[in-house]
Amino acid sequence: MIQMLLLLILLIFILTFVYASWRAAPWVPIHSKDVVRLIKLAHIQQGQRVYDLGCGDARVVCAAARAGARATGFEVSLLPYLLAQARIALQKNKNARVCYRDFWSADLRDADLVYFFLMPKIYPKLKEKLERELKPGAKIIAYVWPFPDWTPTACDRMPGQPTLYLYTRSYYGHHTMESHLRFS
């Protein structure tokens, strides 16, 4: 009986991992030194709203909260979600939280910054969501892979390290983001 229960629990963990991989990306944690680079690139201000799409073990969520943000992560893979909850509990930061929820159904309209480390195959759908929901001036940081038709406002490149791409939502009416972004 105990073996069957353990097998069922293992199966649940595996299925949630497969589901997360299929929906957006498998869990591959961001390097700790890259979290520092990300926080510096983001220029987080006290009280800003930060979302991490597919937050894994909440490294970025906790770092953003320590920088003064109200940070929320979304995760659908059970193991990283539980690790994220443990990380947040250990750090006792009331401004960090993780939701066991698919980020596709999350409302991002109040975001000041959206971060993600996701597979490029979902970028077309993600682009539509971000253009539809983000307010003017909101920042987007993509880890490793850039949006193919957006021009970053800044990039953080380090030899031998993944690149961080910063994009900023346009202030211009209802135009698409890429038509008003410039490389700097």
Query: pLDDT band for position 78 (50/70/90)?
Result: confident
pLDDT beyond 90 at 9: no
Query: pLDDT band for position 29 (50/70/90)?
Result: confident
Query: pLDDT band for position 173 (50/70/90)?
Result: very low
CA distance 175 to 43: 25
Burial class (CB in 10 A: 0-12, 13-18, 19+), 76: buried
Q: Tens digits of per-residue pLDDT, 108-151?
A: 999 999 999 998 999 999 999 999 999 999 999 999 999 988 99
Q: Letter for the amino acid at 133? A: E
pTM to 2 decimals?
0.84
Name the residue with higher pLDDT: 67 or 21: 67
Tracing tokens 């293992």 back to the chain, one arrives at 10
pLDDT value at position 8?
61
pLDDT beyond 80 at 183: no
pLDDT beyond 60 at 174: no
Phi-psi region of 160 (alpha: psi -120 to 50; beta: other; left: phi over 0): left
Q: Can you tell me the mean pLDDT for 17-32? A: 66
- Find the Cα–Cα–Cα–Cα dihedral 53, 58, 60, 62, rounded to 10°: 130
